[in-house]
Amino acid sequence: MSALLQVGAAVPTTPKDLVMNAGTETHVVLAILVVLSLVSWAIMLGVGRELSRSLRLATAFAREVERASRLSAAGEVSKHSSPNAAQRLLVRALQFVGDVGPSRPHTSFSDDPVMPLSPTAAASRVETLRLVLDAEALSERDRLGRFLPWLATIGSASPLIGLLGTVLGIITAFLGIATRGSGNLAAVAPGVAAALIATAAALAVAIPATFGYNILANRLNRLDNLLEGFGTTIIAMLVREGRV
């Protein structure tokens, strides 16, 4: 009877007991998963906050520029607004216009006025400006989304790491049973349950990371679409004023 009580006292009854009594390989896997979980939550909170702020500021700036009647008014809006992705897009467009000059003179007092560009040259300049703005928008997207691949990797790799820990734990449990020569359910269940803790921990890491990646990728796509539409607005404004 005393032997049975000792055996019963040694059997883990809570998840904490399972973790404490698990093998070394399970502890190593759990430590890796804890690190991955901390990294994923840091990325989700940091990138999420930065994306939300960038999207809010860019949306407000784009609306103010769209209400401006001329490019000079949009430039004044840019000077007094907080730095944001849409503002940098406008500044890049103004730099391009300053480098290439206007497509046609507004006024001319010389005897030999500058002739406006041909339709082909004007279209080529507009297309070049479009490529410049697309490159600037892509740079903003890469800067804001530089940590998202890590989040996707954690979401996809964590279940495999947990499965590895479970398999190694089960192998160790069965080897221990073979060594002791006891194969009843009471001897098998604790080792298997301790090994399955790794899979449960892996899912607890992977599920939030996958949700976080999809939410942040959606916000990044919204910002990308906003910058694309804002770039079209800038080009239309420049063409209307004869700047390109």
The per-residue pLDDT for range 14-26, each reduced to its tens digit, is: 667 667 766 778 8
Taking alpha carbons only, the member of 35, 36, 30 closest to residue 153 is 36
Residue ranges of domains in the chain: 37-103+117-240
Q: pTM value?
A: 0.78
- The backbone torsions φ and ψ at residue 51, rounded to the nearest 5 degrees and listed phi first, read -65, -40
Are the C-beta atoms of residues 242 and 70 closer than 8 Å to each other? no
The confidence score (pLDDT) of residue 122 equals 72
The confidence score (pLDDT) of residue 131 equals 92
Burial class (CB in 10 A: 0-12, 13-18, 19+), 110: exposed
Q: Give mean pLDDT in consecutive 10-residue pieces for the chain, a chain of 244 residues.
A: 39 65 80 95 95 93 84 79 89 83 50 57 83 92 93 95 87 74 62 81 94 95 93 87 74
Q: Name the token pair of 74.
A: 């949009």
∠104-107-109 over CA atoms, to 5°?
120
The per-residue pLDDT for range 208-232, each reduced to its tens digit, is: 999 999 999 999 999 999 999 999 9
Are the C-beta atoms of residues 223 and 55 closer than 8 Å to each other? yes
- What length is written for the chain? 244
Q: Which residue has the tokens 């490159």?
A: 135
